[in-house]
Chains A and B, each alone.
Chain A
Amino acid sequence: MKKLSIGWFSFSCCEDSTIIFTELLNDHYKEWKQIIDFRSILVMQRKESLHSFDVAFVEGAITSKEQEKKLKQIRSVSKKLVAIGNCACSGFPSGQRNDFDPAKQDEIAFLLVRFAYAERVQKLADIVTVDDYVSGCPMNEQGFLTILNKYLKEFGVIA
């Protein structure tokens, strides 16, 4: 039986949508076990394959060059990429340092250098093409289910 191959990734955020996803499993795990191939979801499993995904669900904003590189890698192996939650969709609230006044910028400057932060926090669409958005903080559950079902149909997994 064909399955939808997915990856679930988190960047800079509170991972609230990941928690919502694990809660959606309470009601859907039996169904999803049959039709979804979880190729990467670090919060649930060690095994990870970054070779190809039908759909990558990406939570969080991008705050470093290292994250930007990984996001581009995910994009390059994913037929579709969905931004999950407000930080991925709009960059906020994770991007709050973008609006700091000079005094606050000075306080954090040494850490930005030490850990190679990017100059500004960016939303996903600033860096890669995003095919769909599920906004909300955390993500809107019904919105996620709608997008998931759309791709299950589009990739021929369900009728």
Chain B
Amino acid sequence: MSTFDLTIQEFAKIEGKARLTVKVKDSVVEDVRFAITEYKRFYTQALRGKDIMALPQLCCRICGTCSNAHILCAVQAVENALGMITSEQTLLLRKLINYGLMIRDHALHCYVFALPDILGIDNILELDESIPDQRQLLEDTFQVKAVGNMLSAHIGGKSVHAPYPVIGGFSKLPDQNRFPDMIASLESIRPAVMRLIQRLAESPFSLHRVSNYVAKIDDEYSFLDGDILTSEGRTYSLMEYVNAIRHVEIPYSHASGYIFDDGVCMTGALARINLAKDKLHPRTKQDVKDALRMFPSTNIFHNNLAQAIEILHSIDRSIDILRHLVIVPERPQTVMRKAGTGVGIIEAPRGILMYRLVLSEKGSIDHIQIVVPTGQNQVHIEQSIRRYLEQNIHQGKDRLHREIESIVRAYDPCMSCASHFLTIKWVGV
């Protein structure tokens, strides 16, 4: 019979800080507490009263890694509140910024956070450059990340806190003359991403859970458009989604948890691929058809594989856009300040990101609610740790520690995003 306490004070190779405490008595898991330990910066309060034009650049400071997703979601929420119709060129450029984010952010997760677990090393820099296979992997890591960075930076001005995407359009348009080189760079990393997909498809790690997967899906798997679909077969409009998501207080965690339709759900790459693998780019589908046969999947670790497939998809969609897009001079639309409510919902790298705004007549923020992917996955993560412990209680503590860290990493949680809001009860809104 096993009786022990297990504490993980800090998780390595994730975005931000989290802590786990476990109590096991007579081989029964009595208590599992997964706590996000990032201190809040109280953005919900800080944004109230601010002018809408400042919102995107304020919100992107919520999180350095998901920065551009916050910009795009904040812009969408404001434009919806003001009834603005965006141009086709603006929509395509926003897609490119998000594809660049997906490439860079998923690559950071897959190569730097997740792969060391599979390779049995502590960090990616431990790879031995004198061994060809390891040198190749090291080169792949930094080349793929760099191309994602390049795409976001060329279109958005910077890969982190991009200055060009604004409400109503772009403050500066990209240089069309650079598109051929960008296409060549994107093409150049496809073989590396194919190797990554192969490695992750062969990973022996598994933890199976039947879950309600939730994702925003459109016909081109653009991450920015569509309805909310669930693996329970339901479709939600954006407002139905807003009404179905409910805050749950987790007293030991700095971050709010969320449940969807009164149940625990999972959002992110695994949810997207499970729900919409048929909508991936045709070239992606052709080139990774063996890996795609593994979906829909109940294996939490296939979130890593799903992210790698999304890197390839983002490359292929970006190449298509860059081949056909002809940049025309276009200034951002004039913003007409007025009272209104608006919702923005996009797929950020880690899942559904939601902004809900109430604007005053002067165009300032009266109320704002921001729900981030890790908030939605927080309860799911804790339940997965419990499930794993119940199945592996007689393993040594070192192994439990190591494998629990791998499970948490598989979700690619972002604590920086998750902990910086304080949920306020909305009255009469």
Contacts and interface: CB of A to CB of B under 8 A. Distances in A.
Interface string A15-31: 11111101101110110
Interface string B95-130: 000000000100010001000000000111100010
Nearest to B415: A15
A138 B68 CA distance: 13
Contacts, number: 124
Contact of B39 (A30, A63, A107): A63
Q: Is the interface of B mostly helix, strand, loop or mixed?
A: loop
Interface of B: 10, 12-16, 38-42, 45-46, 48, 58, 61-65, 67, 104, 108, 112, 122-125, 129, 138, 142-143, 145-146, 149, 159-161, 251, 254, 405, 416, 422, 424
Interface string A35-52: 000100011111110000
Contacts of A97: 41-42, 45-46
Given A12-B41, A64-B39, A115-B39, A47 B67 contact: no
A20 B45 contact: no
28 contacts: A12-B39, A12-B41, A14-B61, A14-B64, A14-B67, A14-B416, A15-B65, A16-B65, A16-B160, A22-B108, A23-B104, A25-B142, A27-B146, A29-B142, A42-B12, A45-B12, A47-B123, A64-B39, A67-B39, A94-B41, A97-B41, A97-B45, A100-B45, A111-B40, A115-B39, A117-B39, A137-B161, A138-B160
Given A12-B38, A23-B149, A104-B46, 12 more contacts: A13-B416, A14-B62, A16-B65, A22-B145, A23-B159, A26-B149, A43-B13, A44-B12, A67-B39, A96-B41, A114-B251, A115-B39
Interface residues of A, number: 43
Interface of A: 10, 12-20, 22-23, 25-27, 29-30, 33, 38, 42-48, 63-64, 67, 93-94, 96-97, 100, 104, 107-108, 111, 114-115, 117, 137-138
A15 B418 CA distance: 13
